[in-house]
Amino acid sequence: MAKGFDIDHLAKLARLNLTAEEKVLYSNQLTHVLTYFETLAKADLPVNSDVALVVTEKALRSDEPGMSLGSDAVTKIAPASHDGQISVPRVVDDES
């Protein structure tokens, strides 16, 4: 089982900034954990797996409007809002 990983790539995928110290720490710890995971690579495992724990025949609800929080409650817990809408840093640059 391959256990090599690129910590910079992983951090980028996970949207995390890591300090140089954290990169070393997490690399070492993850290598240790992944080595332990090698028992999975050696195991004789079924090809077809069924991991459904509950019957989910009714997993989809009918397509009707349901309860929601409302914009006041939502904007109240948002980090920043303006005129009943959540605001974020500019996504699209000005045309220039």
Partner 1 sequence: MAEEIYQLSATEISSRLAAGKLTSRAVVEALIVRYHQLNKKIGAFTSLDEKDVLAQADASDARRKAGKVLSPLDGIPVAIKENIAVKGQPLTCSSKMLANLVSPYDAHVVEALKSAGAIIYGRLNMDEFAMGSSTENSAIQKTFNPWDLACIPGGSSGGSAASLASGLVPLALGSDTGGSIRQPASHCGIVGMKPTYGLVSRFGLVAFASSLDQIGPMARTIADCELLLKVLATPDARDMTCFDSTQRSQLPVATEKSLRIGIPKGLLGKGVGAEVAAATQAAIDFYKSKGATIVEVDLPSSELAVPTYYVVATAEASSNLARYDGVRYGHRSANAKTPIEMMTNSRSEGFGPEVKRRILLGTFVLSAGYADAYYVRALRARSKIRAEHLAALEKVDMILSPTVPTPAFKVGEKVSDPLQLYLEDIFTIPANLAGLPALSVPCGKSGHLPVGFHLVGAPLSESKLFAAAQLFESAHSFANQQPTL
Q: Which residues bind partner 1 (CB under 8 A)?
A: 1-2, 5, 7, 10-11, 13-18, 22, 26, 29-30, 32-34, 36-37, 39-41, 43, 45-47, 49-51, 53-56, 58-61, 69, 73-74, 76-80, 86, 88-91
Is there a contact between 35 and 2 (Cβ–Cβ < 8 Å)?
A: no
Minimum gap (Å) between residue 82 Cβ and partner 1? 14
Is there a contact between 30 and 5 (Cβ–Cβ < 8 Å)?
A: yes
Q: What are phi and psi of 82, to 5 degrees?
A: -150, 125
Residue closer to partner 1, measured from CB, 54 or 95: 54
Q: How far apart are the first and last CA of the chain?
A: 51
Minimum gap (Å) between residue 28 Cβ and partner 1? 10
